[in-house]
């Protein structure tokens, strides 16, 4: 788990680096975690990206609740964005990116055509907070006949372009931005998925939060994993945690049970889930 410390100086530097690279691309791929479509976004992204064309990629959609992902995809579309639900680990899923990018840039491509400008590969960069899958996406694109195209004048020294087929070129280093860490609820959600290591959060608080989400939204998944009854789920959450500890043979070791619950969630043993709930938007 990466532990990047974000101080004002680092944030300004990250922002500067992204702004610098933006000049050389046609489109930005904003990667967010489909389980956290709001919490895993950078709070200043609109200001940083400004008018540059953007494709939002709801990554790790294989881990997220598909009903929630559909709602979030529609939400972003209605807000005027282009968006794709993605699994960066899956080549078939990654292949959707080129046609989706062409759609985003359709007007520009048509304009160039009218002017008689020869079509060229779309130039893109990947952008997102730590752990949303930026390197995974680049690697999966790179796995497919990618050739480094060498330095291009003007781009930061050492910066390379990676070519995906003939139609897409990517900057080989992603833009890394910071999450909305000043909001404690966002911090809790990011920590539960394993996106950040938050030493201020106690494991038992995280585990109780996990139980709150699963008893409310995914009770069947919780019952199945820990062999619980409907009645068990009516217990107060700390009691439920103790019951799970007991069932696992941890007696009353709250800490150990909390650790196990969080680990199993992160390993995907509790099934698919989404922590940023679409319905919270209208609350
Ligand atoms: P970053 O560059 O944005 O920091 O993220 P990175 O690609 O390192 O991905 C962070 C973790 O998320 C990795 O897991 C990676 O495998 C996983 N991941 C990325 N995209 C997907 C996806 O679409 N679906 C799933 N299920 N996982 C994804 P890790 O446990 O840190 O590493 P590893 O065990 O894969 O080596």
Distance 168 CA to ligand 1 centre (A): 22
Atom of ligand 1 nearest to the CA of 59: 23
User: Per-residue pLDDT for the chain (283 aa), expressed as one digit of tens each?
Assistant: 455 678 888 899 999 999 999 999 999 999 999 999 999 999 999 999 999 999 999 999 999 999 999 999 999 999 999 999 999 999 999 999 999 999 999 999 999 999 999 888 999 999 999 999 999 999 888 764 444 444 444 445 567 888 888 899 999 889 999 999 888 899 999 999 998 876 767 899 999 999 999 999 999 999 999 999 999 999 999 999 999 999 999 988 989 999 999 999 999 999 999 999 999 986 6
Distance 1 CA to ligand 1 centre (A): 10
Full domain range(s) for residue 243: 202-280
- Domain-embedded: residue 188: no
- Number of folded domains that form the chain: 2
Distance 235 CA to ligand 1 centre (A): 35
Give the 3-state secondary structure of residue 82.
strand
CA dist., res. 46 & res. 52, Å (int): 10
Residue identifier of the C-alpha nearest atom 19 of ligand 1: 133
Per-residue burial over 112-140, b = 16 or more CB atoms within 10 Å of its CB, e = otherwise: eeeeeeeeebbbbbbbbbbbbbbebbbeb
| Confidence (pTM) | 0.92
Question: Which DSSP string do the residues of 134-145 spell out, in sequence order?
Answer: HHHHHHHHHTTT
* Same domain as 246, residue 132: no
Tokens 């790179």 found at: 142
The answer to whether 59 and 33 are in contact (CB under 8 A) is yes
Atom of ligand 1 nearest to the CA of 2: 4
* Same domain as 40, residue 136: yes
Q: What is the CATH number of the domain that holds 240?
A: 1.10.1580
Q: Is the dihedral of CA 67, 69, 74, 75 positive or negative?
A: positive
Give the 3-state secondary structure of residue 177.
coil
Is residue 139 within 6 Å of ligand 1 at its C-beta?
no
Distance 84 CA to ligand 1 centre (A): 18
- Domain-embedded: residue 194: no
Q: What is the CATH number of the domain that holds 87?
A: 3.40.50.300
The answer to whether 190 and 36 are in contact (CB under 8 A) is yes
- Domain-embedded: residue 189: no
Residue identifier of the C-alpha nearest atom 27 of ligand 1: 60
CA dist., res. 57 & res. 40, Å (int): 12
């Amino acid at each position: 788990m990466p532990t990047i410390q974000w101080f004002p100086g680092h944030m300004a530097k990250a922002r500067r680096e992204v702004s610098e690279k933006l000049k050389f691309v046609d489109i930005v791929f904003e990667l967010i975690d489909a389980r956290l479509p709001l919490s895993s976004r950078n709070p200043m992204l609109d200001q940083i990206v400004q008018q540059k064309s953007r494709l939002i990629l709801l990554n790790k959609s294989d881990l997220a609740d598909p009903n929630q992902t559909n709602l979030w995809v529609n939400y972003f579309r209605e807000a005027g964005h282009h968006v794709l639900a993605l699994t960066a680990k899956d080549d078939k899923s990654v292949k959707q990116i080129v046609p989706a990018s062409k759609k985003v840039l359709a007007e520009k491509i048509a304009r160039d055509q009218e002017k008689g400008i020869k079509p060229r590969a779309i130039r893109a960069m990947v952008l997102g907070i730590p752990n949303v899958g930026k390197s995974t996406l680049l690697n999966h694109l790179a796995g497919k006949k990618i050739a480094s195209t060498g330095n291009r004048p003007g781009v930061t020294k050492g910066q390379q372009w990676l070519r995906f087929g003939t139609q897409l070129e990517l900057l080989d280093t992603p833009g890394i931005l910071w999450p909305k860490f000043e909001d404690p609820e966002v911090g809790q959600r990011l920590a539960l998925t394993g996106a950040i290591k938050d030493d201020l959060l106690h494991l038992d608080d995280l585990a109780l939060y996990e139980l709150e989400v699963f008893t409310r939204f995914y009770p069947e998944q919780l019952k199945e994993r820990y062999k619980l009854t409907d009645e068990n789920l009516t217990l107060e959450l700390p009691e439920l945690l103790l019951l799970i500890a007991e069932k696992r043979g941890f007696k009353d070791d709250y800490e150990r049970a909390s650790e196990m619950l969080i680990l199993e969630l992160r390993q995907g043993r509790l099934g698919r889930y989404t922590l940023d709930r679409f319905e919270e938007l209208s609350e």
